[in-house]
Amino acid sequence: MHNSSLILSTVTFIYALSACFYVGFLVFKKNISGKIGFAFAIAGFVGNTAGIILRWIESYQLGIGHAPLSNLYESLVFFSWTCALLYIFIEKKYKNRAIGALVMPVIFFAIAYASLSPNISDRINPLVPALKSNWLIAHVLVCFLGYAAFAIAFGISVMYLFKNSGKGLKNKKNFNFLPDKETLDDLIYRTVMFGFLFLTAGIITGAVWANSAWGTYWSFDPKETWSLITWFVYAVLLHLRFMSGWGGKKIAWVSIIGFAAVLFTYFGVNYLPGLHSYGT
């Protein structure tokens, strides 16, 4: 096992502690629990960053020398990093820790799947020829910033539906620690818009890269096809928001459907025959 893998395995448990304290904050409404959860989130993010940098250095020490973005293990680690980065920014900006109770478990499960699954190898391997490109970092970075934003939008959407439930309306005083519905609705829109812009950039950079690697901008590979389907789902969401005045509960449900498409684009198609299949 590489030293970076040991660090990232430790980060998995730090994120787990963060998620537990955030859930404790949501359930017991103790501010100290939220503060500890945020401290662990910061510690996890720092460790996540160190693990990625060290893995990059280790690849050069092995004579391979590439950014750690080339397989399922590395992509899950990077996904966790981007989610943590965006979440920390949102918490600092909006001064509300309740959202962490839904976002931090997503971060934990992503890196736990990478670190603990027996089906995922943490070995550092040479790049296949098609991945030996300057487009690698740019394409993966913008795609995963988009995925992270959609993951956070998903968590906020679930929270909006929770607050909008009949139980929440009957006992509003029990939900005062949650952001108000207008704030949650605005956050869903902002995070989806952020993710949509980066997903668009990811599709464009991927097309340019595909043309240089395989001689065609688009080949209807399963990953490409589902990326486009995901793009259309979020394009519909934004269209309904701008043109039809949709908001609140309706947009929250479309956001959840969109994240289901993201998950299939990220995980499901990896095990289908194709040019982007991490699973193969």
Per the prediction, the chain carries an average pLDDT of 87
More confident residue, 110 or 135: 110
pTM of the model: 0.90
Give the C-alpha separation, 53 to 26, whole Å: 33
Cα 76 from chain centre: 9
> Does residue 279 register a pLDDT over 50?
no
For residue 169, name the pLDDT band (cuts at 50, 70, 90).
very low
Domains in the chain: ranges and CATH: 1-127 (1.20.120), 130-280 (no CATH)
The stretch 232-259 carries a mean pLDDT of 92
Query: How close are the terminal C-alpha atoms of the chain, in Å?
Result: 22
Q: Which residue in 138, 146, 140, 40 sits closest to 86, CA to CA?
A: 146
Q: pLDDT per residue over 43-61, tens digit each?
A: 999 999 999 999 999 999 9
**CA neighbor of 147 nearest in space, from 185, 197, 100:** 197
| Beta carbons within 10 angstroms of residue 227's beta carbon | 23
CA quadruple 181, 87, 191, 272: dihedral sign? negative
Spell out the SS3 assignment of the chain: CCHHHHHHHHHHHHHHHHHHHHHHHHHHCCHHHHHHHHHHHHHHHHHHHHHHHHHHHHHHHCCCCCCCCCCHHHHHHHHHHHHHHHHHHHHHHHCCCCCHHHHHHHHHHHHHHHHHCCCCCCCCCCCCHHHCCCHHHHHHHHHHHHHHHHHHHHHHHHHHHHHCCHHHHHCHHHHCCCCCHHHHHHHHHHHHHHHHHHHHHHHHHHHHHHHHHHCCCCCCCHHHHHHHHHHHHHHHHHHHHHHCCCCHHHHHHHHHHHHHHHHHHHCHHHHCCCCCCCCC
**Rounded to whole angstroms, how far apart are CA atoms 259 and 253?**
10
Residues 82, 152: contact at Cβ < 8 Å?
no
> Does the structure show a pLDDT above 50 at 168?
no
